[in-house]
Amino acid sequence: MRIATIAGDGIGPEVISAAMQVLNTAAPGDGFQYEVTDFPFSAAHFLETGHVLDDDDIAELKKYDAIFLGAVGGLPNDPRLAGGVIEKGILLKLRFELDQYINLRPVTLYPGIDTPLKDKTSEHINFVCVRENTEDLYCGVGGFVRKGTAQEVSNQTMVATRFGAERCIRYAFELAKTRERKQLTLVHKTNVLTFAGDTWFRTFKAVAEDYPEVTTDYHHVDACCMYMVAKPELYDVIVVPNMFGDIITDLGAAIAGGMGIASSGNLNPDGTAPSMFEPVHGSAPDIAGQNLANPIATIDSLGLLLRETGRIKGDKAAIACGERIGAAVKAVTPKFAGKSLDRSGYGTDEIGKMVADAL
Ligand code: NAD
Ligand code: IPM
Ligand code: MN
């Protein structure tokens, strides 16, 4: 398997390095063969060279089987990075150009991890968010009128296509079908977003006809936030458009213990281009360079990379290796009992070694 890594900015290189230590340890046991190539795309690289990521870079990355990304982005208010030059220019460009239309984000309370939710256990917090990843408010459609004047108007358009909603919803039904509970909840805001929400709602109803074994429900996104805190056991699989999915998955990370645990895959399920795997968190400039970041989210994203890419490419050794990494993470999380996941006192490299030792 040829893996392209983009370690990125801030804690990105630290968490990727911990994950690579885990991969080096895990691979031989399963006879998994891989090759890693590092790419420099990041805010730091842009500030140094003026280069973000162009079409030639995309063509180069398409030659790989998978992309493994740490995090990109600088300080939120850096004027040199204004206009989302890095987030749009790297992350969203990759997700869009490589047609990674599914953003898979599990919300799982692991053994030993403390949730801030009272009286909730692993039994209550065990669901997956299927976030649409190529449409919605993320399309960059909109603009200004009379910018900089007292009459300034800006708009940002929420784009929903039948094609985009349907392929995402269908993926979510297929996933729900394979799970024990077989339950799928659509999350939107159809009471206010009466155009985009309506497209999603009707598409959801139509696709549901093909999956009689899956039970379905619908929640408005505001109520979903309340239920995720008060009754997370309602959820098995959630399907959600891009912007709401971004927001509820940070909430999902928090109820599962913190940003240091939340993994994700940007999937091109058809295999027409590589999928990309990354932790849900960002570059965390506040703790960068201090060996404080928890790399579990990144290590778990690596497990997901091996399992998902293995499935798409028919690589059984990769799947086995990904499964062992997932199991090793679960063997290590009890060591966080009684500690804060994101400020545990363990070093980034130390946690990487703990998982490698468990392997
Ligand atoms: P963030 O996720 O980087 O940080 C939010 C908070 O969570 C911070 O207090 C941070 O210390 C903590 N945190 C995050 N990951 C952690 C970990 N592994 N272990 C322990 N604590 C952790 O979000 P932000 O501060 O809003 O964004 C910082 C930069 O990252 C911005 O430039 C943003 O655009 C970018 N960003 C990038 C990605 C990505 O590359 N996928 C995702 C989100 C944000
Ligand atoms: C995420 C991030 C990105 C998003 C940003 C950095 C573009 O928040 O991966 O969740 O909004 O999708
Ligand atoms: Mn986010």
Q: What is the pLDDT of residues 4-51, one digit of tens each?
A: 999 999 999 999 999 999 999 999 999 999 999 999 999 999 999 999
Our answer on whether the CB atom of 246 is closer than 6 Å to any ligand 2 atom is yes
Q: Please state the pTM of the whole predicted model.
A: 0.97
List the structure tokens of 279: 């932790």
pLDDT-derived band at 298, boundaries 50, 70, 90: very high
Q: Which whole number is the average pLDDT over 87-106?
A: 98
| Beta carbon of 210 within 6 Å of any ligand 1 atom | no
Dihedral, 358, 15, 325, 169 alpha carbons, nearest 10: 150
> Quick check: CB of 276 below 6 Å from ligand 1?
no
How far away, in angstroms, is 280 Cα from ligand 2 center?
8
SS (H, E, C) 78-103: CHHHHHHHHHHHHHHHHHHHCCCCEE
- Ligand 2 lined by 9 (C-beta under 6 Å): no
Residue having the nearest C-alpha atom to atom 42 of ligand 1: 282
Pick the residue whose CA is nearest to atom 4 on ligand 2: 246
Which residues, 6 or more positions from 342, have their beta carbon under 8 angstroms from its beta carbon? 258, 259, 260, 294
Q: What is the mean pLDDT of residues 342-359?
A: 97
Domains of the chain with CATH codes: 1-100+270-359 (3.40.718.10), 116-255 (3.40.718.10)
On whether the CB atoms of residues 107 and 280 are closer than 8 A, the answer is no
- Tell whether the model's pLDDT for residue 205 goes beyond 90: yes
CA of 337 to the centre of ligand 3 (A): 26
Average pLDDT, rounded, for the chain: 97
Quick check: 240 pLDDT over 90? yes
Ligand located closest to 342 CA: 1
Closest approach atom of ligand 1 to CA 11: 18
The per-residue pLDDT for range 113-146, each reduced to its tens digit, is 999 999 999 999 999 999 999 999 999 999 999 9
> Does 71 sit in the ligand 1 pocket, CB within 6 Å?
yes
Question: What are the φ and ψ backbone dihedral angles of 32, each rounded to 5 degrees?
Answer: -80, 125
- Asked whether the predicted pLDDT for residue 76 surpasses 90, the reply is no
Residue 24 is predicted with a pLDDT of: 97
Q: Could you tell which of 53, 87, 250, 283 is best to mutate to test the pocket of ligand 2, judged by most ligand atoms within 8 Å of the CB?
A: 87
CA 260 to each of CA 14, 119, 141, 159, 249: distance values in angstroms, whole numbers, following the listed order: 13, 22, 32, 31, 13
Q: Please say if the pLDDT value at position 174 is more than 90.
A: yes
Give the pLDDT of residue 91: 98
**Predicted local confidence at residue 308, as pLDDT:** 97
- In angstroms, rounded to a whole number, what is the distance separating the alpha carbons of residues 193 and 207? 20
> How many residues in the chain?
359
Ligand 2 midpoint to CA 212 (Å): 34
Give start and end residues of each alpha helix (H) in 62-157.
85-86, 93-97
CA-closest residue to ligand 1 atom 23: 282
DSSP string, 273-329: S-EEEEESS---TTTTTTT-S--HHHHHHHHHHHHHHHHHHT-HHHHHHHHHHHHHH
75, 133, 283: which to mutate for ligand 1, most atoms within 8 A of CB?
A: 283
**CB burial of residue 47 (10 Å; 0-12, 13-18, 19+):** middle
What's the ipTM? 0.98
pLDDT (0 to 100) of residue 352? 98
Average pLDDT value for residue range 221-236: 98
Q: Can you tell me which residue has the tokens 């708009």?
A: 155
DSSP code of residue 26: H
Backbone angles phi and psi of 110, in degrees to 5: -80, 160
Q: Distances in Å between the alpha carbon of 111 and those of 95, 181, 333, 334, 341?
A: 32, 21, 6, 6, 12
Dihedrals φ, ψ of 36, to 5°? -120, 135
Q: What is the DSSP letter of 126?
A: E
Q: In percent, how much of the chain has pLDDT > 90?
A: 99
Query: Cβ(326) to ligand 1 under 6 A?
Result: no
Active site residues: 138, 189, 222, 246, 250
Least Cα distance to 128 among 257, 235, 256, 248 occurs for 235
Ligand 2 atom closest to residue 243's alpha carbon, by position in its atom list = 11
Does position 99 have pLDDT exceeding 90, yes or no?
yes
Q: Which ligand is nearest to the CA of 103?
A: 2
Ligand 2 site, residue 280, Cβ cutoff 6 A: yes
Question: What is the arithmetic mean of pLDDT over 254-261?
Answer: 96
Question: What sections of 131-274 are H helices per DSSP?
Answer: 162-178, 196-208, 221-230, 242-255
Q: Which amino acid residue places its CA nearest to atom 5 of ligand 2?
A: 87
Can you tell me the distance from the alpha carbon of 254 to that of 232, in angstroms, rounded to the nearest whole number?
12
- Mean pLDDT for 161-180 is 98
Which residue's CA is the closest to the ligand 2 atom numbered 12? 246
